[in-house]
Amino acid sequence: MRLITCESNILEAAEDMRYLLERFYDRQVALSIVCKKYKINKLQQKLLFNGVYDDKNAYINRSKLTNEKNLIDANLNLDLYNVASIINSGLLSEILLFADDGYLRNINNIYNKNNINLIEYALEVCFVTIFYLKIKSVKVFLDPKINKNDVFSKIINTKMKKMNINGNIKYSKIENASFPTNQIVVSSNSNVIQIAKYTFDLPHFIFKKSMEIKSYSLK
């Protein structure tokens, strides 16, 4: 993965936003202040909102990351829409975001739920990697409010059965879940990371060795 340094005005805005977050400004308020000062467009706003963290929270999030060796025979909780969205962006050669807290995210956070071929390809990459990692089991979280859950469920169950992956689907927002301390959560969603003890960044693991994947850095 190739890191791309953002333009100087974005880096300055990011530095100012970190300064405000360190002083306990609300994230949206801090973003609004720097956007007015630096005349930031909508795409750049998403970069800052998803990528900038104060040192304390960046450290806390980063400290939860575990490596692939700890996934052998582990129980995973998969935030499917979050993970598939990032994988999908990478497969489409969109520039990703390597955030201050060490997680790989996409910028638009848009998952094309209407293109079944893209969905299936992203899920294929996701579950092939999970199979490769030799996990014990995976619980796949699907937000019950998302349309086409029936289509996703069928694809997911087919993939897991084909690859002999022990798993099940839970129709629930993962943000509302509680996880046993020995289980690992697969997500780059900051709200999910907050409630997890251990996390794994699956998209970063997939793309980190590919020089075709580009990712913005805000430092």
In tens, the pLDDT along 176-219 reads 898 888 899 999 999 999 999 999 999 999 999 998 999 999 99
- Does 171 lie in the same domain as 121? yes
Q: How far apart are CA 103 and CA 188, in angstroms?
A: 6
Question: What does the pLDDT look like over 74-99, one tens digit per residue?
Answer: 999 999 999 999 999 999 899 999 99
Helix (H) or strand (E) holding 192: helix 190-195
Q: What is the sign of the dihedral through the CA atoms of 159, 86, 184 and 27?
A: negative
Q: Are 91 and 124 in contact (CB under 8 A)?
A: no
Report the domain count for the chain: 2
Residues 121 and 107 in one domain: yes
Same domain, 44 and 109: no
- CA 32 – CA 66 distance, rounded (Å): 33
Distance CA(168)–CA(156), nearest Å, equals: 9
Within this chain, do residues 92 and 178 fall inside the same structural domain, yes or no? yes
* Cα 98 to Cα 76: distance, rounded to the nearest angstrom: 23
Assess whether 43 and 80 both reside in one domain. no
Domain hosting 30: range is: 2-62
Distance CA 205, CA 200 (A): 9
